[in-house]
Amino acid sequence: MSTLERLAVLADGAKYDVSCASSGVNKQNKGGIGNSKSFGICHTWSADGRCVSLLKLLLTNYCIYNCHYCINRNQNDIPRASFTPREVADLTIQFYRRNYIEGLFLSSGIERSPNHTMERIYQVLDILRHEYHFYGYIHVKVIPGADPALVNKTGLLADRMSINIEQPTEQSLKLLAPQKTLPVLFAPMNQINNQMTQNASERKIFRHVQKFVPAGQSTQMIVGASKDSDLSIIKATETLYNRFQLKRVYYSAYVPVNEGPNLPALSTSPPLLREHRLYQADWLLRFYSFKADEIVNEQSPFLDTDFDPKISWALRNMQLFPLEINQASYEELLRIPGVGVTSAQRIILQRRLGNISYNHLKKMGVVLKRAKYFITCQGCYYGGIPAESALVRQALAPVAKPVQLCLF
């Protein structure tokens, strides 16, 4: 295969991995400048909020494992290709010099053994950092089961590392990814977390200590390939954040690519709304101090599709509302639907200067069409209906889309 053909195969194979934020779109040139392909270049956000483009590809799509949900599993009859570490490094530099990309997102199938693959990933980084003196952003996958020494030396050259957990429970892994286990996946996460903490304290004392994975680690879970509930997924997410201080957990709606007794049918649509709701729940865990079992519980283990998880929680706990905006604590303000982190901070700051009126709230970024059922302002309630769960639920329910009637 030519380099371009291999690039097409290996960039296409990487598109199911969302742990570097976003992928592109397909767009045909209609007489203007440039084409866009849905594979190859993805975007991520740096710590200062900039959006950067990354070359996203696999080092190889040969794999000795047989994860049932994966297009690259060894049982699939698909075009296979590999790059050498030098080819990946050269491609990265050439794309960088042409201003197509600002960094690299490198994943890989497991060729021969975890150590062999991890060593090759390391070699890419070694060439880029030490030969080309490339200082751009690099995100690499850690191959589960690889030697900790390899993970360590790769971590000293990468900006971010990720180990995809893919399934939230040991049972689903056993069913869908029989060669993987949670302890094997957790081991490198634990190692990276410990080394990041150690590195941070060493850098406080010695300024010239080399940084270890400065942009932190992330992971991805596939949603809808197994029968796991949202409760299992959110609980696993909470554990990952608490135990390994992950920067992000990404969710990828499963796109059926393989047939199997334990997988959804090929005609099943990817559960995109479920994925969206999980991202909202993840936001509540990270920024709103929610606990997993407040968002979903054994009685209702799936997220409500009609309402975002914060409204669902508020509707289940109407006895806590309405809250007086001029007296509620910061933590209570964060629980009000329609009040975000920024608006809660603005309310707290503004209250030092005087009482807040209902008209002030809109200017502070509060979404009143949601918040009005859950607050009072200077003792007045503006919801217009009694603050009862059933009535508020009805008022906030999404408007049904109009349906075109049949002419006959």
**The total number of residues written for the chain in this structure:** 408
Q: Does 142 bind ligand SF4 (CB under 6 A)?
A: no
Q: Which stretch binds ligand SF4 (CB under 6 A): 65-73, 265-273, 293-301, 395-403?
A: 65-73
The residue among 80 and 372 lying less far from ligand SF4, judged by its C-beta, is 80
Q: How far is the CB of 73 from ligand SF4 (least distance, A)?
A: 4
Which CB, 10 or 70, lies closer to ligand SF4? 70
**Is 110 one of the binding residues for ligand SF4 (CB under 6 A)?**
yes
Shortest gap between Cβ of 42 and ligand SF4 (angstroms)?
17
Asked if residue 252 binds ligand SF4 (CB under 6 A), the reply is: no
Q: What are the b/e assignments for 72-108, b being 16+ CB within 10 Å?
A: bbeeeeeebbbbebeebbbbbbebbeeeebbbbbbbb
Task: Write the CB contacts of 224 (distance below 8 Å, at least 6 apart in sequence).
Answer: 253, 254, 264, 268, 270, 271, 274
CA-CA-CA-CA torsion sign (18, 21, 24, 25): positive
Nearer to ligand SF4, 221 or 333 (CB): 221
- Stretches 64-72, 82-90, 215-223, 250-258: which one binds ligand SF4 (CB under 6 A)? 64-72
Of positions 7, 10, 67, 158, contacts ligand SF4 by CB under 6 A: 67
Closest contact distance (angstroms) between CB of 144 and ligand SF4 is 8
**Closer by beta carbon to ligand SF4, 63 or else 93:** 63
The tokens describing 109, both together, are 């199938």
Q: Which residues of 246-261 are buried (b: 16+ CB within 10 A; e: fewer)?
A: bbbbbbbbbbbbbeee
109 binds ligand SF4 (CB under 6 A): yes
Nearer to ligand SF4, 63 or 377 (CB): 63
229 within 8 A of 173, measured Cβ to Cβ: no
Q: Which are the contacts of 312, defined by CB distance < 8 A and separation ≥ 6?
A: 295, 303, 304
Token pair of 337 as six digits: 């639907």
Chain residues binding ligand SF4 by CB under 6 A are 63, 65, 67, 70, 72-73, 109-110
